[in-house]
Amino acid sequence: MTGLRVSTGFESARIEVLHTDQRRVRVAVPPDLAAPRFRQWFAFDVEGEPGASAEIVIDNAAECTWADAFGGDYRVYVSEGDAWRRGDSRVERGRLVLRHIFTRPRVRIAFYPPYPSSRLRDLRAAVREAGGAVDLLGVTPPGRSVERFVLGAGDKHVWVLAQQHPGEAMAGWFAEGLVAALCERHGAARALALEATLSIVPRMNPDGAAIGNHRTTPRGVDLNRSWESEDAPVEVSSVRDAMRMTGVHFALDVHGDERLPWVFAQPADRFTGRRAGIDRAIGRFEEALSGATPDFQTEHRYPYAPADVPSMIFGANWIQGTFDCPALTLEMPFSDHRGHPEERGFFPARARRLGHRAAIGILAAIT
């Protein structure tokens, strides 16, 4: 029997190998490049003989930024070349331990299934085939594109942002679902495309996604803490400039939450003097999306209190403050949606399905 082998030869891969033998792999989660305070993302392959069992141990789970995210409802995601599922993982004495029996020679293991560039390429082609546009907004220092997909022909302008935090890959799957709905143009998506022009940025942090950072760009910048800065990185500044050109009537910034086992929308900060129309639009969005899918709820979210001066470093707050419009941060879990649990957790197809249904909520918000 040959020993187990670990490899990281794919986009978004990231792990540190400590030890391998015939039945056991010990690895460690490295920090984000240039941002050592963030240590959470992992994605790697393990090769073994079909039928063999393996114990795969993440030694430093207790040292990760959101160490408690690995317990409770969470299970490691695994794929042997087919659909992603949750593996048999548990937290044991501060380590995250996965027990796996190989059915194929290779298993891919990840904190959450990455959203691959191959699917983004296919989505880009689908947008063009449906008569939409793909606009280059900016180019990052390593040369990757920050782009938006433009669909619809209505007078109102809706912006949807995904993967400001690259490890929150469910946002990429969500964006794919929304774009697919708009390309298909049935039901609410068709009505939405007549009512609004939608600008969807499917991957705001392409460099972070490529190298396997969880929270930041390769230069250690958290994009969702950069919106107020005059010298914001191109990923943010190019989107701000495009928003100023179109105006914004409704915005959705799509993320994932490491700890909370719920799907929810967090409104931008409420403040004295905020238009009542903003709250009404948010209410319509939440009511419509709650009615459209059990994978959304309104009871559980972050603490929400009025702010005298909203913090403009956050994307949703900056958009609301600049355009006087409803702006929400949509959060999805890495584990499962506790109000509607499924064996495979909040796997990519569910995030995609939620994006597909989101057209119903957006249409309600703007009409």
**Span 67-71, mean pLDDT?**
97
Q: Are residues 68 and 143 in the same domain?
A: no
Select from 21, 16, 87, 22 the least CA-distant residue to 58: 16
Q: Are residues 100 and 129 in the same domain?
A: no
The torsion defined by the Cα of 325, 331, 332 and 334, in degrees rounded to 10, comes to 150
Statement: residue 2 has pLDDT above 80: no
- Residue 200, classed as helix, strand or coil, is strand
Question: How does pLDDT run across 53-65, given as a tens digit for each residue?
Answer: 999 999 999 999 9
Residue 86 tokens, joined: 């949750």
Q: Are residues 336 and 199 in the same domain?
A: yes
Statement: residue 30 has pLDDT above 90: yes
Select from 197, 169, 166, 192 the least CA-distant residue to 181: 192
Whole domain around residue 60: which residue ranges? 5-110
Q: Are residues 228 and 279 in the same domain?
A: yes
Q: Are residues 90 and 136 in the same domain?
A: no
User: How far is residue 314's CA from residue 235's CA, in Å, rounded to a whole number?
Assistant: 14
Number of neighbours of residue 33 by Cβ within 10 angstroms: 18
Question: How does pLDDT run across 207-239, given as a tens digit for each residue?
Answer: 999 999 999 999 999 999 999 999 999 999 999
Residue located via tokens 């403009």: 312
Burial of 74: CB neighbours in 10 Å, binned 0-12, 13-18, 19+: buried
Question: How does pLDDT run across 86-122, given as a tens digit for each residue?
Answer: 999 999 999 999 999 999 999 999 999 999 999 999 9
Statement: residue 273 has pLDDT above 90: no
**Span 334-346, mean pLDDT?**
97
The predicted pLDDT at position 230 comes to 95
Q: Are residues 243 and 103 in the same domain?
A: no
pTM recorded for the entire structure:
0.98
Backbone dihedral angles phi then psi of residue 138, each to the nearest 5 degrees: -170, 170
Domain count, the chain: 2
Number of neighbours of residue 100 by Cβ within 10 angstroms: 21
Residue 291 tokens, joined: 């009615």
Please state, for a pLDDT cut of 90, what percent of the chain lies above it.
96
Mean per-residue pLDDT over the chain, rounded: 97
